[in-house]
Structure 1
Amino acid sequence: MHTVFRIDEVRKLDKKSPLYQVDLKLTSDDDQQLRQLTDRVRQETSGSTGWYRMGKLLLKISQFDKAEELYTALLEQVSNDSDKADIYHQLGWLKDDQGQYKEATSFYKMSLEIKRKTLPEDHPSLAPIYGNIGQVYKNIGDYSKALEFYEKAHKIKEKALPSNHPDLAISYGNIGQVYNRMGDYSKALEFYEKAHQIFEKALPSNHPHLATSYNNIGLVYNNMGDYSKALEFYEKALKIREKALPPNHPDLATSYNDIGLVYNNMGDYSKALEFYEKSHQIYEKALPSNHPHLAISYWHFGSINEKMHKYSEALSFLEKALSIFKISLPPSHPHIQSVRNAIDNVRKKI
């Protein structure tokens, strides 16, 4: 009989050993939603075996340190260029999730360089690398470069995949995110809705990608000032994430943060603070201390304290945000100037 387990802990048996111990917890046999989600995750990690597959699963649940330790050990053991390219790609993904964007770009480009030795520029296996390089550029605020790589990935996927494939939906979502960052909300919504239509048909109702899709649409409505609509989509995303993800997953923190932002915009500061604090507690546990998400969290605390006329507290939070942004983002990133402006405004009120 097949059984489904939850990964409880992954640890090395000892420093010199190449072996790891994986502690598992048995789940209920009749959990239909969990079964659907597990089947989907199994599909998403197909093509990988053994510890390579475990590494992908660790990344999906944001166990970054364990994933890095595993991939570093694998890198020392392989001599095959193809395997090295795959490991570099996964390390790039890991570093991007940790907010270490220079390292992420370096790993992605090492992976791409190896693959391009034997593959044409539009080979389907290159699409994920192009897409992930696009994500790094998006995260550092270089939106034209992000769009260039996202569209390169999308063109490859359009040729290689059926029109209802979830990977195409991910591409639509990525392009939508760039347009949202650029302030072109109608264009962003167009791409997000294309993504969502595919996800609804192709994925189980509790899949994290569907939650991301709801969250993206909510973000556009929030930016457009339609806060009730934003809250509706954010809460749909949160409902899925609370069921599908571990309680300390950064995506859960993102949901809490975004809901807090809506309440902040609506003037309900106590409710906003409640959600911001939930978000911050997760980010502090799950992310490195200089991750941009933590800076955004401090920025939001600063914003809400300013609105509550607590100017010294606001200034303290904003200065924390700025110090992290200066470490983790390029000097030209718009977040840095925005926080500097916020600091200047608060200082005038003290």
Structure 2
Amino acid sequence: MEASKRVLGEEHPDTLTSISNLASTYWNQGRWDEAEELDVQVIEARKRVLGEEHPDTLTSISNLASTYRNQGQWDEAEELEVQVIEARKRVLGEEHPDTLTSISNLASTYWNQGQWDKAKELEVQVMEARKRVLGEEHPNTLISINNLALTYWNQGQWDEAEELQVQVIEARKRVLGEEHPDTLISISNLASTYWNQGRWDEAEELQVQVMEASKRVLGEEHPDTLTSMHNLAFTLKSQGRWEAAMQLMRDCFSLRQRRLGPNHPDTMSSSSALAEWKEDLTKMNETSVVEGGEEAGSADGS
């Protein structure tokens, strides 16, 4: 970046691309303030050099909106996303892939605020357009179907969610392969739908499948593998299989502590689950002792 500034100048398109790439690196590291500062710098420069509605300028604005979204600054994100959508419709067309991505981003902002109806309306719009423009089994089309399924899931519309999730799984198996990470995520989502309906055996079958495949494809300590262990442990607990659930959660906690660190939210989630389960087991055992004592007392009295 510094070399580009010296050789090409501070506002040369290649220099701005370098700055944008650095902002993206900060974004991926969760360094939102630093990413935001560079995003704003690139936007202002691109407006001057390329124009307010140049595709690269709009990409920069979209990047800043994404930074806001990841900080929970919903109003700021929404304002920029609407701006990008309208500009891309004018410049690129209503069903251009980049326009549809912008609409999907706005749907995500609504989704994260629990505005399900608004999110659903946009998700359906994007899904139908992507089917027409990209094809029914294009990865981006499948992402749209998956997003809509998650919205149904959050509204407790299990049948609708399940139907779409099965559709995505089958398509991803064909397009990406049975053990592709995205395919495994889809299977995990369906397992979650089963879990929330109390369909423990069906959830368990899928979760075991995901966990074993994740170990092979991603590695035994990959965060996604550990998530699959965590989820399966909850299903085992729901089935009343306390010993197996506790052991699996202990293994998950140990691996997360080593891989992610003790203060990572996922590690703390496993730790919290273990503490709660131990407390629940203690209460259950105390109840059993009390009940046993009462029965013995009755027998003595007779």
- Identify whether the pair has TM-score above 0.5, normalized to the shorter chain: yes
Corresponding residue for residue 113 of structure 1: 41
What RMSD, in angstroms, separates the aligned Cα atoms of the two structures?
Answer: 4.0
Gaps of 5+ in 2: 282-302
Contact 2:226 2:255 in 1 (8 A): yes
For residue 224 of structure 1, the aligned residue among 151, 155, 163 is 155
The reply on whether 1:162 has 2:64 as its aligned counterpart is no
Aligned residues: 267
Which of structures 1 and 2 has the bigger CA Rg?
Answer: 2
The reply on whether 1:101 has 2:35 as its aligned counterpart is no
Distance 1:336 1:139, change over 3 A: farther
Q: State percent identity of aligned pairs.
A: 18
Alignment of 1:130-279 (within 5 A): 130-139=61-70, 141-245=72-176, 249-279=180-210
CA distance in 1, matches of 2:230, 2:76: 26
Aligned AA (2:159):
S
Residue 112 of structure 1 deviates from its aligned partner by 5.0
Gaps of 5+ in 1: 1-74, 330-334
Aligned AA (2:154):
N
Distance 1:254 1:77, change over 3 A: farther
Corresponding residue for residue 289 of structure 2: none
- Mean CA deviation greater in 227-236 or 296-305: 296-305
Distance 1:282 1:312, change over 3 A: closer
Aligned AA (2:57):
L
Residue 276 of structure 1 deviates from its aligned partner by 3.0
- Which of the two has greater strand per residue? 1
Residue 318 of structure 1 deviates from its aligned partner by 7.3
Residue 200 of structure 1 deviates from its aligned partner by 1.8
Distance 1:87 1:328, change over 3 A: farther
Q: Please give the TM-score of this superposition, normalised by the length of structure 1.
A: 0.60
Contact 1:112 1:126 in 2 (8 A): no
The reply on whether 1:316 has 2:267 as its aligned counterpart is no
CA distance in 1, matches of 2:66, 2:220: 19
- Which of the two has greater helix per residue? 2
Contact 2:81 2:106 in 1 (8 A): yes
State the secondary structure of the residue aligned to 2:95: coil
Residue 141 of structure 1 deviates from its aligned partner by 4.8
Alignment of 1:58-69 (within 5 A): none
Structure possessing the higher relative contact order (Cα contacts under 8 Å, 6 or more residues apart) = 1
Residue 338 of structure 1 deviates from its aligned partner by 7.6
Q: Please give the TM-score of this superposition, normalised by the length of structure 2.
A: 0.68
Residue 341 of structure 1 deviates from its aligned partner by 6.7
Corresponding residue for residue 8 of structure 1: none
Which whole-Å deviations, capped at 9, do the CAs of 1:194-252 have from their partners, x for residues lacking one?
A: 11122122112221110001101111111222222111111222233223336664422
CA distance in 2, matches of 1:168, 1:196: 13
Contact 1:82 1:115 in 2 (8 A): no
Distance 1:320 1:127, change over 3 A: farther
